[in-house]
Amino acid sequence: MACLVFAAAIPFHLQGETAKIPRPPRPDAPLPGMVRVKALDQQEKEGTMYHLRGHAQVETTDMLLRADEIDYDEESGYAEARGNVYFQHFVGGEILEADRVEYNTVEETGKYYNVRGSSPAKIEARPGVLTTSNPFLFQGKWAERLADRYILHDGWITDCKLPTPWWTLRGPVFDVIPGERAIARNSVFRVRRVPIFYTPMFYKSLEKAPRRSGLLTPNIGHSSLRGYMVGGGYFWAINRSYDATYRGQLFSERGFAHNVDFRGKPTARSDFNVAFYGVNDRGLLVNAATGERLKQGGYQLTADGKADLKHGFHAIGSLNYLSSFAFRQAFTESFFEAINTESHSIGVVDRHWSTFAFNLVAQRNQNFLSTATDDKITIQKLPSIEFGSRDHQILERILPVWVSFDSSAALMRRDQPDFQTRQSVERFDVEPRITTELHWMDFHVVPSFSIRETHYGSSFNDERQATGAGILRSSRDFSLDLIPPSLARVYQVPAWMGPSWKGSKLKHVIEGRASFHYVGGVDDFQKIILFDETELLSNTTEAEISITNRFYAKRADGRVDEVLSWQVTQRRFFDPTFGGAVVAGQRNVLLSSATLTGYTFLDGPRNYSPVVSTLRMMPDPRVGIEWRADYDPLRSHFVNSSISVDARISQYFLSLGHNQVRSVDVLSPSANQFRGLIGIGKENKRGWSSGFSAIYDYRLNVLTYATTQVTYNSDCCGLSVQYRRFNFGTRPGDDQFRVAFAIANIGSFGTLKRQERIF
């Protein structure tokens, strides 16, 4: 028989693990094995039978029975209560009221007639789960208690406030074990007395950490590109350490989608999660006359895990394999995932002791250049052995001296449309470094020197073809950092700045920093095959100057906040070609440019970098503003600008951002995009909540993504309706409607997933 299971995302237990929480004794409770009886109006005893009249009461360590009249046999433990009966079981926390109750205090069994009662709520305070402090309420014609369970006949349950609950589950039989589980057979779920669905068996765990196999609630939805969407699934609690979930979904216009999730916790210090998502796509109809379809099916495999190994070793890994970028753009439900052209996988075994670190790394990175098949770059490390040491002081009397080193040995491979290396290209890299520090008054000078040797088993020839000829790169690196003393001054905040600043003081701090950096010996940069940041090292002779202004506010309550900071940085290149590494008319990415800004700017030799500016403001703890911009003197305008504003005041929230790229096409395509999110409410806010978010591309004049959501939460349930529109790449004009109905402390069902909600 099928059963519906709410909230399958549940915590793990180890094999054989048990947890018992001792319950503190009630004050003035009878001792174990004793029964306390009393009555206000009349109390008679005939042999072993007590006749209690008027506010009668029978109490044990675990339960309390009150009524107008109680007849109690102390030998058998049988009690019959009549009139305004009140029953409370202190172990399970349930409270019942009935017209008549028959109860045995020894066997802890009984019958309740015309019963209504409550059981404490098990609050699951997890993100995206609607919660309430309301207890579960139930009512029925009669109920019986059999040792540790209750059986309710011809009744209903809810966790809404009476007398007009938002939802009820009605059925002929409810089988409840407090603190363990509740089962309803042949029940009907109603919202405002309207029947929504029927289930032959409904199962709800009442455990603190529930695990139970069963069918997941079905869902339906609609997409303009996929058609109607109907899905369901099954959760399999394999044992206390492993579980698996399968979800299937039918797209009426495209085909069948599969989602498999397998999780495990083999030991107390290890766990893993493997997820598979794939679609058997019939194809998008592109020509109705010929029946031509564009197939975009594929799959994505993700996995992550970690484990503590013996002797101080740790292992951690993350796998992300994507069959095609076209599949991601067509079937992902996240806009930001759909535009992400990269896929990274990495596994690391490491050990750290003293100042040393050892890493064994296997890594695979893919960058999809377009949705075309095989139009991608794949770089692999199989494997890489890394051994190094952070700064370790060896002298301190006359002059402090620190030494450090990095070394690695790796097998590398690069595969892209225009060339590929052989299966394994060896790379050996070692770099020892020595650092010292000089002081004069409040000035600090930090010089550092290193020698780096890197051997490659393959290289480019003069025609930029990958060959098996090895190459040795011998570089020397010298850097000098000058840190002058900071300048500071304290100001009294003027009255015109408003009452929120009353009694405040402002402290203005100016921090300056200058550095010189020299790298030599990289004479064959164009012959080196790029695998990662190790190959970005080039010859350079450069100086950098940076100035940071900071404003600190001391509030009337003594709290100190940094309300504004502005950092401006620029580099001067004394070698404009970086030892011949820069080629005019093409995009050049070097370590010197990559460590300065995230935007590339080298399309030819140059003496100055753009002026990199970072401005952050927090005028109020609830409001944050950030503006990052690169001004290029060579082009006499801002080439990159990114600004964001985030605020949450009470129930209101706002997030705005604008990103613009005005560089030359050879460096990066132009961009001019606006994103915005505005709304009111929270995921557990009672009443109405609403939000709207959008991403607009000014360059294309297209609203690439938009979503709006309206949610109403009562005291016990909530309804969310969301509309989304995708319009980019392979998903032009895709409209989707999503709905979710949440029941507090139980879970939710529908097509609107928790990770896709605004709240």
Q: How confident is the model at residue 688, as a pLDDT?
A: 93
Q: 3-class SS at 61?
A: coil
User: What does the pLDDT average to over 7-14?
Assistant: 34
Q: Give me the amino acid identity at 96.
A: L
More confident residue, 675 or 419: 675
Q: What 8-state DSSP symbol labels residue 25?
A: P
Q: Give me the amino acid identity at 13.
A: H
CA atoms within 13 A on the CB side of 62: 12
pLDDT mean across residues, the chain: 88
More confident residue, 741 or 13: 741
H or E element, residue 328? helix 325-331
Contact at 8 Å (CB) between 325 and 371?
Answer: yes
- pLDDT tens digits for 169-194? 899 999 887 767 778 889 998 988 88
Q: Residues 6 or more apart from 125 whose CB is under 8 A from it? A: 131
CATH homologous superfamily of 20-206 equals: Lipopolysaccharide (LPS) transport protein A like domain (2.60.450.10)
**Both tokens of residue 758?**
């605004």
User: What does the pLDDT average to over 112-136?
Assistant: 76
CA distance 48 to 51: 10
759 has a pLDDT exceeding 80 = no
> Which pLDDT band holds residue 649 (cuts at 50, 70, 90)?
very high
Contact at 8 Å (CB) between 518 and 529?
Answer: no
DSSP-assigned states of every residue in 206-265: -SSS----EEEEEEEEEETTTEEEEEEEEEE--SSSEEEEEEEEEETTTEEEEEEEEEEE
What pTM did the predictor assign? Answer: 0.80
**Both tokens of residue 338?**
């759909």
Find the radius of gyration of the CA atoms of the chain: 35
User: What does the pLDDT average to over 193-197?
Assistant: 86
Q: Give me the amino acid identity at 692.
A: F
User: What does the pLDDT average to over 401-421?
Assistant: 95
Range of weakest confidence among 92-96, 137-141, 584-588, 635-639: 92-96
Range of weakest confidence among 2-16, 313-327, 550-564: 2-16
Locate the domains of the chain by residue range.
Answer: 20-206, 208-340, 342-458
Q: What is the 3-state secondary structure (H, E, C) of 377-439?
A: EEEEEEEEEEEEEEEEEEECCCCCEEEEEEEEEEEEEEEECCEECCCCEEEEEEEEEEEECEE
**Both tokens of residue 375?**
């139009």
DSSP-assigned states of every residue in 555-624: -TTS-EEEEEEEEEEEEEESSTTTTTT--TTS-B--HHHHTT-SS--BSS--SB--EEEEEEEEEETTEE
380 has a pLDDT exceeding 60 = yes
490 has a pLDDT exceeding 60 = yes
Q: How confident is the model at residue 497, as a pLDDT?
A: 63
User: What does the pLDDT average to over 231-258?
Assistant: 93
CA proximity to 118, closest of 157, 144, 91 = 157
User: What does the pLDDT average to over 684-693?
Assistant: 91
> Which pLDDT band holds residue 22 (cuts at 50, 70, 90)?
very low
Q: How confident is the model at residue 26, as a pLDDT?
A: 77
CA 228, 231, 236 angle in degrees (round to 5)? 170
